[in-house]
Structure 1
Amino acid sequence: MLISTLAFACMNSTVKYLKGIPTFEIVFFRSLGSLFFTVGFLLKNKIPMIGKNNKSLILRAIAGTTSMSLFFMSIKYLSIGTAVSIRYIAPIFSAIFAVFLLKEKIKPLQWGFFVISLVGVFVLKGFDHQINTTGLILVLLASVLSGLVYVIINKIGKSEHPLVVVNYFMMFATVLGGILSINNWTTPKGIEWLFLLLLGILGYVGQVFMTKAFQTASTNIVAPIKYFEVIYTATFGVFLFGEIYTFYSFLGIALIIGGLILNIWYKSKLDNS
C-alpha cells in the first residue's frame, strides 16, 4: 500500500506539473497508458474483455471518468495535498449511496465520524483563505462520483475480474478524453511527453499494488495506510511546487483523515464482533 500511495502521489504531482496541458488531454494519456497494460494482461490470460454486467461496468466507467476529470481540473486550482485530502471524503458519499441503492445501514457513531471529516472540509474552506472555491466545488463533485463508483463496484462484486472493471474504465476514459481533446489539443513539448507517458504507468502501478495490498492483509490494517498518499503528495507540493500549508490546512486535513480512519476502525470492530 505504501508503494501504491507513492505511485498515486507521483501521478498527482505529474498532473500538477502539466498545468499547461488541457485536462482531457491528460485524461487521454493517463488512460491510454493504463489501457496498454490492462488489455495486455487480459489477452495474455485469455480473460474475456466484455464482462457480464455491461450496464454496471459502463456506469462505473462513466462515473469514474467524470470523477477523474473533475479531480484533475481541481488540481489546477488547489494545492495537491488539499485536493487529495478532500477527494478522500468519497467514502461518506459512498455510504449515503449505499443506504439508498444497496439498502445498507449506517450506525449513528459512523455518522459522527463522517461529520468530523466534513468539519475538516469546512475548516479548510472557512479558515484557509488559499482554498479556491472553484477548485473546492470540482473536487467535491469528484468525491461524490467516486463514492458512486465504490457502490457500483460493490454491486458488481466478484462476478467480474478486477482488471475487466478497470479495463472498461480506462477504455471509456481514453475514448472520451481523446474526443474532447480534438478541438482543444496542445502539443506537448520536450519532457512533457515523458511525463504524459508516465501517468498511465504510475496509475497502473498504484492500482495493482493497492489491489495486492487488500488481497494480502485485512482491510482495517491496509486501508488507513492509503492516507499516506496525502503525506507524500503534500510533501511533493511543498518541495516541488512551493506550496504553503497553514495551520488550518493541517487541521482540516487531520480532521478529514482522522474521521475516515475512525470509521474504518469502527467498521472493522463491527465486522469482527
Structure 2
Amino acid sequence: MYPLRGITLKLAAVMCFIVMISLIKAADVPSGEAVFFRSFFAIPVILVWVMIRGDLGQALKVRSVTAHALRGALGTLAMLTNFAAIVLLPLPEATALGYAMPLLVVVFAAMFLHEKVGLFRFGAVGLGLFGVLVVMEPSITMGAADAVETAQLLGVALALFGATCGALAQVHIRNMVQVEQTSAIVFFFSLTASVLALLTLPFGWDMPQGMQWVYLISCGLLGGLGQIFLTSSYRFADASLVAPFDYASMIFAVLIGYFWFDEVPGVQTLIGAAIVIAAGIVIILRERYLGLQRGKARQAKNPFG
C-alpha cells in the first residue's frame, strides 16, 4: 500500500469534481444539458483508461441490464437535481448540503441492505443531519421574502433530493459490485446518463455560446478524470483512510466561490458544514474501528493466521 499516493489521488479527484461543478455553475445551462455534457464527454476518458488497464472486455461486460438501468436512472436524477441546485445556490452552501449523501447512505444501508447500524453511528447521522438543518435554516426562514430567496429555497430542496437519490444509488452500487465489474459500472453509467439526458432536449436546451462550450466540454473531461483518480486512490490506500479527504471540497468550494463567483459563505453555513463534516468523520472512524475488530476476530478463529 502507498497511502500518500492514495491521498494525493483522492485530493486530485475532489479538485476535479469541485472544478467540474464550478464550470457547470458558470455555464448556467438547463440541468439536463449539463448532465449530457458531463456524461458524454467523460466516456472517451473512461474508455482510454480501461484500455490502458487492459479492462476493456470487462468494461463492456454486463451481467444485469436491469441493475445498470436502475443505477443509471438514480445517478442521472441525482445529477439533474444537483446541477440545478448548484446554479441556484452559493457554491459552499450547495457543497455543504451535498454532505447529506453519505449520512443517508448509512440510513438506507440499514433499511435496504439490512446492515447492522448501532446507536453510535445513528447518533452521528443525527448530528450530521442537524448540521444540514443549520445550513438550510436561513433559506427556509427567508425563502418567501423575494424571488432570489425563493430560488434559494428551491435550490435547497433540489440539493437534498439530489443527495437522497445519490445515496440510493450508492446503496444500489454496493449490491452491484458483488457481480459487476467496477469498470462496467462506471462506463455504462456515463452511457446511460448521456442517453437519459437527451430525453430532456424537447424541454429546451440553450445553444452554448463562446466560453460555454469550453465550460461544458471541460466538465465532462474533468468528470471522467475525477472518476479515474477516485477509483485509483483506493488501489493505494484503504477506503477509511482516504474517505475523510472528501471534505476538502469545502475548502475548494469556499475559495472558488469567493474568487470566481464573489460568494462569501455565511457564518451559519460554515458552522453547519463543520458539524456535518465532524459527523461524517466520526462515522468513517467508527467504520475503520469495526473493520479492524472484524479482522482480529477472523484471525482469532484461524489458527494458521
- Quick one: distance in 2 between partners of 1:160 and 1:37? 20
- Quick one: distance in 1 between partners of 2:30 and 2:166? 22
Sequence identity of aligned pairs in percent? 27
Say if 1:2 and 1:225, in contact at 8 Å, map to a contact too: yes
Q: Equivalent residue for 1:33?
A: 41
Q: How does 1:76-155 map to 2 (within 5 A)?
A: 76-127=87-138, 132-155=152-175
Q: Equivalent residue for 2:57?
A: 47
Q: Equivalent residue for 1:5?
A: 14
Say if 1:117 and 1:259, in contact at 8 Å, map to a contact too: yes
RMSD of aligned Cα (Å): 1.7
Partner-residue secondary structure (3-state), 2:114: coil
Q: Name the aligned partner's letter for residue 261 of structure 2.
A: F
Q: How does 1:6-21 map to 2 (within 5 A)?
A: 6-19=15-28, 21=29
Say if 2:97 and 2:135, in contact at 8 Å, map to a contact too: no
Say if 1:89 and 1:260, in contact at 8 Å, map to a contact too: no
1:72 to 73, 83, 95: 83
1:56 to 51, 67, 78: 67
Say if 1:79 and 1:237, in contact at 8 Å, map to a contact too: yes
Q: How far is the alpha carbon of 1:43 from its aligned partner?
A: 6.2
Partner-residue secondary structure (3-state), 1:134: helix
Q: Equivalent residue for 2:7?
A: none
2:225 to 202, 205, 219: 205
Partner-residue secondary structure (3-state), 1:36: helix
* TM superposition score normalised by structure 1: 0.94
Q: How far is the alpha carbon of 1:41 from its aligned partner?
A: 4.7
- Quick one: distance in 2 between partners of 1:185 and 1:127? 32
1:185 to 205, 216, 225: 205
- Relative distance call for 1:183 and 1:144 in structure 2 (3 A) is closer
Q: How far is the alpha carbon of 1:148 from its aligned partner?
A: 0.8
Q: How far is the alpha carbon of 1:226 from its aligned partner?
A: 1.3
Q: Name the aligned partner's letter for residue 47 of structure 1.
A: G
Say if 1:27 and 1:69, in contact at 8 Å, map to a contact too: yes
The number of aligned residues is: 272
Partner-residue secondary structure (3-state), 2:188: helix
Q: Name the aligned partner's letter for residue 136 of structure 2.
A: K
Q: Equivalent residue for 1:265?
A: 285
Say if 1:27 and 1:173, in contact at 8 Å, map to a contact too: yes
- Quick one: distance in 1 between partners of 2:289 and 2:222? 33
Moved more, 190-199 or 155-164: 155-164
Partner-residue secondary structure (3-state), 1:81: helix
Q: How far is the alpha carbon of 1:6 from its aligned partner?
A: 0.6
Say if 2:247 and 2:277, in contact at 8 Å, map to a contact too: yes
Unpaired runs of at least 5, structure 2: 1-9, 143-148, 294-305
Q: Equivalent residue for 2:30?
A: 22
Say if 1:220 and 1:268, in contact at 8 Å, map to a contact too: yes
- Relative distance call for 1:106 and 1:132 in structure 2 (3 A) is same
Q: How far is the alpha carbon of 1:38 from its aligned partner?
A: 2.8
Q: Equivalent residue for 2:271?
A: 251
Q: Equivalent residue for 1:172?
A: 192
Partner-residue secondary structure (3-state), 2:57: coil
Question: C-alpha offsets along residues 43-91 of structure 1, whole Å, 9 cap, x if unaligned?
Answer: 6744152411222111111100100110000011111121122112112
Runs of 4+ in 1 over 3 A off after TM superposition: 39-46, 127-131
